[in-house]
Structure 1
Amino acid sequence: MSDFLKHECGIAAVRLRKPLAYYYDRYGTALWGFQKLFLLMEKQHNRGQDGVGIGCAKLNMPLGQPYIFRRRDSERDGLANIFRKEMKSFHKMARKGILHPDRPDSIKEHCDFGGEVLVGHLRYGTSGEFDEGSCHPYLRRSNWPTRTLMVMGNFNMTNAAELNQVLVERGQHPVFGTDTQTVLEEIGFHLDEAHTDLYRKLRDEGVDGRDMPDRISSELDLARIVGESAQPWDGGYSICGVVGNGDMFVMRDPRGIRPCHMLVTDEVIAFASERVPLMTVFEADASQVKAVDPGSVITIKSDGTISDTAFSPPQKYTPCSFEKIYFSRGNDPQIYRERKAMGASLVPQIMKAIGGSFDKAVFSFIPNTAETAYYGLMDGLRLFRRQEVRSAILEAQANGELTPEALDDLILRNWPRGEKIAHKDIKMRTFIAQEKGRDQLVSHVYDITYGVVRNDDALVALDDSIVRGTTLKKSILKILARTQPRKIVVCSTAPQIRYPDCYGIDMSELGKFIAFQAAVALHRRAGRQALLDQIYEDCRSELQKPVGQMVNRVKAVYEAFTDEEISAEISRMVSPEDIEWDGEVEVIFQTIENLHASVKGPCGDWYFTGDYPTSGGYATVNAAYVRWYEGIGGRSYGLQL
């Protein structure tokens, strides 16, 4: 993705199923679980770089001993920093004789992360502050372990303002600006209620106070508590929580918008946002890793009992398609195949753009994340050419013109030519605040291969997706133009992004989308400002309705144009004007039909089609248009009104 885009967070959780001594005897370390947590997070580092956090709950700790721990870091290289500090502390205590590495009981007593329940979070913030205090997990402490709660997740709630209002009406004092706090307090409220009910029941039964904690722990119904908490939530989410007694839960939203995967073995129960990290870290087969069912909560009691409970009726399955296009690492076997299919499906549009001939075209990709789709594109181009050659051979044979020279000419000439044109300097960081200076820096993030593209060639560059078009205009196209081709064709494996997201991706400002800008420009050029004014009034009217009755009024912005007309306007808008190159730019987008044909099973496409999976999405899109029209920036969902 050439446009920088903050997106989904990553979660990791490790629940050991054996005593620490087992892992010491088998693997030589009682910190096996801690090491696996680090690896799970490292394998998902692509999902979050704003901050990290880890947590640990120890089972059956003696009275007076701490049982729940948390560390967070928002600095650069926070993941490495946080684990390095913990291991440094471990070795320091070992040198001083405070703990003994060969005694698992000593490690559990003295090492904060020498426990059985370990969780980790990688943050890409879409709201709130970007400091350590905003990093997950969030912790709600109590001197009752069964009321202590730690929560982390990959989610956005579209109705955070309403959820906060519920807390206010209860008499609580929520912190506005982050839905994470809202989720923590909602689950915490129901946990407190359940805890109080159990305490009074057991007290009235005459249970001795010293036996009360164990009785409450065994009878606490975490699945019911979490399920009740989730009833008013509107959004996409994958949430993990740990109670101080060691009970643990992992839940996924009813439509499966956010991803979550689970691995269960004799030694461990583990969770992660992506499938491949679980496979790699635990050397598991793909068949052993299962997706957590949408609308279900997995609970693991402190005694190790595991259950899977539905907290919502079945809903239409709409997993985020950007997981397939861009977010998830491409070494997942299914995602790898799907990304290749996305690249191959662009062949007919590309052949039209280059005039149907390979002899004056060079194919490449930018940025590096588009490489897998590029392999699929090249496979598709080669197949296209083979079919051309086959037809030509059969025709020549039928006409008696199949000479050895003609055969060589057919087979050897005009073959798809793939080249590595753009090379990213991964050490280059564009942290200059001034826009002019930043643009200058960005233009040097990539270097190019000189002498490969001829001035009569069309240079075809594959990209994951084009959101705002800013980087394309100010950087990428200027870089590619250094090769002096006759034409640059930029191909997006994603369709035109027309509508805001509100379920975890930082795409909520409608006015920043290049597709929206193009449609608005076409309307204004045709003298249809009155239509844009009417859509504004329609969106305002929609926002007065109950959320469940709203429809997407922003679709009217695009109804007058074909996809090709909007793409042509985008091509004009992103063409750089201040460089010494007079070639042509054409931008091609994936079709919705080909996206669905490339992806195995359902995939959510609301940012392309405007068809949202939850009611909150329609409130978001109408609010986004109103904010654009009124010149107000910022996110258009979860606002405290």
Structure 2
Amino acid sequence: MSELIKHECGIALIRLKKPLGYYQEKYGSPLYGFSKLFLLMEKQHNRGQDGAGIGCVKLNMPHGQSYMHRERVLKENSLGRLFKKPLKKYDKLVRKGIILPEYTDSVKAHFDFGGEVLVGHLRYGTSGNFTESSCHPYFRRSNWPTRNLMVCGNFNMTNTAELNRILINRGQHPIFDTDTQTILEEIGFHLDEAHDAIYHKMRDNSNLPGSKIPEVISDELDLVRILRKSASVWDGGYALAGLVGNGDAFVMRDPHGIRPVHYFEDDEVIAFASERVPLMTAFDKEKDAIQEVPPGHVVSMKNDGEVRVDSFANPAPRSSCTFERIYFSRGNDPDIYTERKRLGGALCPQILEEIDYNLEDAVFSYIPNTAETASYGLLHALRMYRRTTVKEKILEAHADGSLDESMLDDLILNNWPRAEKIAHKDIKLRTFISQEKGRSKMVSHVYDITYDVVEPKDNLVVLDDSIVRGTTLRQSIIKILSRTNPKAIIVASTAPQIRYPDCYGIDMSELGKFIAFQAAIALLKDRGAGKRIEEVYQACLEELKKPKEEQVNRVKEIYASFSPEDISTKIAELLYPQDIPWKGRLVILYQTIENLHASTPGNTGDWYFSGNYPTAGGIQIANQAFIQYYENRSGRSYDV
């Protein structure tokens, strides 16, 4: 993606099934779990670089000793800093003889993260006031182990305001911070109720000594039941991980499977991560050994090691986020790699038509670096097209007797697709610009080009994985590419036109910033249909008066009169820089939604392209987003 889009987030959880001494003896380190947690997080650093946090629960700690710990960092290189600090403390205690690694009880007693249950989180700061207190995991403290709760997740709720009202109506005083806080308090409320019910039953109806009651509470605590009650009021996409102070843990996924989460289990460990490949790498396993947490299910782990997979919600149509496949997830997953190649190949017919099937006068490239895999797919499709063409012409010439050596030379040696590395991103310069406000003139230098490989007769075809706002294209990329002086610049997006806001964890929420939306508004005005904008605004206001379950997405009416080609043509017009000497042709091509689904089977979530939201809250957010656009109000529509 040529422009930075942030998204939430990455999670990892490790539950050791053996005592620490087992891992010391077998692997030579009592920090086996801590090391695996770091590896899972490092292999997911693409999912969040603004902040990071880790948490730990130690099982069966003696009274008077701490058993639950958390560390969070909000600094540059947050992940490295996060693990360096406790390791530095560990090494110091080893040098002093306080910790003896071969005696793992000393590790557990003195190292904060020397426990059996560990959780980690990587975060992009999509909330407005992003501070260390916004970093996960969130922690709810109590003197009772079974009332301590730590939660982190990759998610966004569409109904945070409603969730806060529920807390208020119970008599609570929530702090309007983030949806994470509301989730923590919702689960915490039902956790408290379950704890208190067991406690009062034991206290009032048994002769059990008070010191033994916590053991009974811990044994009888039913996380699945607690989470089923908590999630009944949630609307959003989520993958949540949580730890309870007694050592119980859980990982749950929303009913539509919007956000991803996977796990691996053997007789030594059960481990979770947002993506599959980190688990394959960390535990040296093939892909078939890694399982997906089923949508609408929770994997719960009791402190005695029992693992269960249970449904917590009614079945719902699967709508897994396709942006995970197009861009967000790391491309070394075998299925994602294949799908990205398919996405590139699916653009082949559109591109061939645009260049009039003239491969000899075309140069193919991509905008670094995430579109590289798709470019391999495009080039493969172009070569297959060329092979088919050559074969047909040879057979035809052979049949009529016109086949000779010169014809073979012309058929076989010429008109094959030519790929070049054209655009180069200067990461350090981009970082510098992001830290220096108001230096917009420097944006055009974020990318540089390879000179003298494109000729004036060439069509320069550049693949991108998605075009959201178009800002970087207009301010930087097209200006840079125009220096090669091609006949035409054709930018092809492996994703369809982004027309609607996301509200399930990706920071794409303001309609007015989408170049496809800007193009549709401009077309309405160009064609004298500007009154529809006012009509849609009024329609959205009326929709918001209805219960969210009855609302329809009225923003679709903005696009109803136009074909995808109409909007793409207008986008090219809007993105064409007016302050450059190059006067060639600019073309913007987009993937079709049909080809998207054919390329990414199993991931059907396409609401940002189609406007077909999987939850009622999503539709409500779309209508709210248009109202905010019309009223010239900035900010995310799900924060209202």
TM-score (norm 2): 0.98
1:141 matches 2:141: yes
Alignment-derived partner of residue 186 in structure 2: 186
Task: Give the Cα separation in 2 of the matches to 1:549 and 1:218.
Answer: 43
Residue 540 (structure 1) shift: 0.3
Partner AA of 1:499 in structure 2:
Y
Q: Secondary structure at the match of 1:250?
A: strand
Task: Give the Cα separation in 1 of the matches to 2:72 and 2:528.
Answer: 54
8 Å contact 1:359–1:415 — kept in the other structure?
yes
Matches within 5 A, 1:544-563: 544-563=545-564
Task: Give the Cα separation in 2 of the matches to 1:8 and 1:276.
Answer: 18
Partner AA of 1:103 in structure 2:
Y
Residue 435 (structure 1) shift: 8.6
Residue 225 (structure 1) shift: 0.5
Matches within 5 A, 1:73-472: 73-204=73-204, 205-432=206-433, 437-472=438-473
Alignment-derived partner of residue 623 in structure 2: 622
Matches within 5 A, 1:11-50: 11-50=11-50
Task: Give the Cα separation in 2 of the matches to 1:400 and 1:440.
Answer: 62
Partner AA of 2:470 in structure 1:
G
Residue 98 (structure 1) shift: 1.8
Q: Return closer, same or farther for 1:17/1:381 CA change in 2, 3 Å cut-off.
A: same
- Deviations 1:545-596, CA, capped at 9 Å, x for gaps: 0000000000000011110000000001001111121111100000011001
Greater than 6 Å deviation, 4+ residue runs: 433-436
- Deviations 1:253-289, CA, capped at 9 Å, x for gaps: 0000000001001111000000000000110111110
Matches within 5 A, 1:65-80: 65-80=65-80
8 Å contact 2:7–2:505 — kept in the other structure?
yes
- Deviations 1:206-235, CA, capped at 9 Å, x for gaps: 221010111110110111101110000000
Q: Secondary structure at the match of 1:622?
A: helix
Q: Secondary structure at the match of 1:533?
A: helix
Residue 437 (structure 1) shift: 4.8
8 Å contact 1:48–1:124 — kept in the other structure?
yes
Task: Give the Cα separation in 1 of the matches to 2:459 and 2:433.
Answer: 34
Task: Give the Cα separation in 2 of the matches to 1:360 and 1:520.
Answer: 35
- Deviations 1:150-174, CA, capped at 9 Å, x for gaps: 0000010000000000001111111
Task: Give the Cα separation in 2 of the matches to 1:601 and 1:63.
Answer: 49
- Deviations 1:181-229, CA, capped at 9 Å, x for gaps: 0000000000000000000001122221010111110110111101110
Partner AA of 1:80 in structure 2:
G
8 Å contact 1:128–1:134 — kept in the other structure?
no
Q: Secondary structure at the match of 1:238?
A: strand
8 Å contact 1:50–1:130 — kept in the other structure?
no
Partner AA of 2:395 in structure 1:
L
Partner AA of 1:603 in structure 2:
T
Alignment-derived partner of residue 527 in structure 2: 526
Q: Which runs of 5+ in 2 are unaligned?
A: none
Task: Give the Cα separation in 1 of the matches to 2:506 and 2:474.
Answer: 22
- Deviations 1:438-479, CA, capped at 9 Å, x for gaps: 333332222211111111111100001000011110011111
Task: Give the Cα separation in 1 of the matches to 2:170 and 2:310.
Answer: 28
8 Å contact 2:320–2:602 — kept in the other structure?
no
Task: Give the Cα separation in 2 of the matches to 1:477 and 1:367.
Answer: 14
Partner AA of 1:529 in structure 2:
G
C-alpha RMSD of matched pairs (Å): 1.2
Alignment-derived partner of residue 537 in structure 1: 538
Residue 375 (structure 1) shift: 0.4
Task: Give the Cα separation in 1 of the matches to 2:159 and 2:636.
Answer: 13
Task: Give the Cα separation in 1 of the matches to 2:532 and 2:427.
Answer: 45
Partner AA of 2:234 in structure 1:
W
Partner AA of 2:407 in structure 1:
A
Q: Return closer, same or farther for 1:390/1:436 CA change in 2, 3 Å cut-off.
A: farther
Alignment-derived partner of residue 486 in structure 1: 487
Residue 4 (structure 1) shift: 1.2
- Deviations 1:31-73, CA, capped at 9 Å, x for gaps: 0100000000000000001100000000000000000000001
Task: Give the Cα separation in 1 of the matches to 2:423 and 2:430.
Answer: 17
Task: Give the Cα separation in 2 of the matches to 1:425 and 1:516.
Answer: 30
Residue 503 (structure 1) shift: 0.3
Residue 434 (structure 1) shift: 9.2
Partner AA of 2:617 in structure 1:
G
8 Å contact 1:157–1:638 — kept in the other structure?
no
Q: Which runs of 5+ in 1 are unaligned?
A: none
Partner AA of 2:292 in structure 1:
A
Residue 432 (structure 1) shift: 3.9
Q: Return closer, same or farther for 1:628/1:435 CA change in 2, 3 Å cut-off.
A: farther
Q: Return closer, same or farther for 1:438/1:267 CA change in 2, 3 Å cut-off.
A: farther
Partner AA of 1:202 in structure 2:
M
Q: Secondary structure at the match of 1:465?
A: coil
Partner AA of 1:229 in structure 2:
S
Task: Give the Cα separation in 1 of the matches to 2:109 and 2:478.
Answer: 58
Partner AA of 1:415 in structure 2:
W
8 Å contact 2:424–2:447 — kept in the other structure?
yes
8 Å contact 2:319–2:614 — kept in the other structure?
yes
Q: Return closer, same or farther for 1:426/1:435 CA change in 2, 3 Å cut-off.
A: closer
Partner AA of 1:39 in structure 2:
L
Residue 428 (structure 1) shift: 2.8
Task: Give the Cα separation in 2 of the matches to 1:428 and 1:17.
Answer: 47
Residue 601 (structure 1) shift: 2.1
TM-score (norm 1): 0.98
1:512 matches 2:509: no
Task: Give the Cα separation in 2 of the matches to 1:434 and 1:543.
Answer: 39
Q: Return closer, same or farther for 1:224/1:128 CA change in 2, 3 Å cut-off.
A: farther
Identity of aligned residues (%): 62
Partner AA of 2:74 in structure 1:
S
8 Å contact 1:439–1:475 — kept in the other structure?
no
How many corresponding residue pairs? 639
8 Å contact 1:223–1:297 — kept in the other structure?
yes
- Deviations 1:123-160, CA, capped at 9 Å, x for gaps: 01322521111000000000000000000000100000
Alignment-derived partner of residue 5 in structure 1: 5
Partner AA of 2:413 in structure 1:
L
Alignment-derived partner of residue 608 in structure 1: 609
Partner AA of 2:185 in structure 1:
E
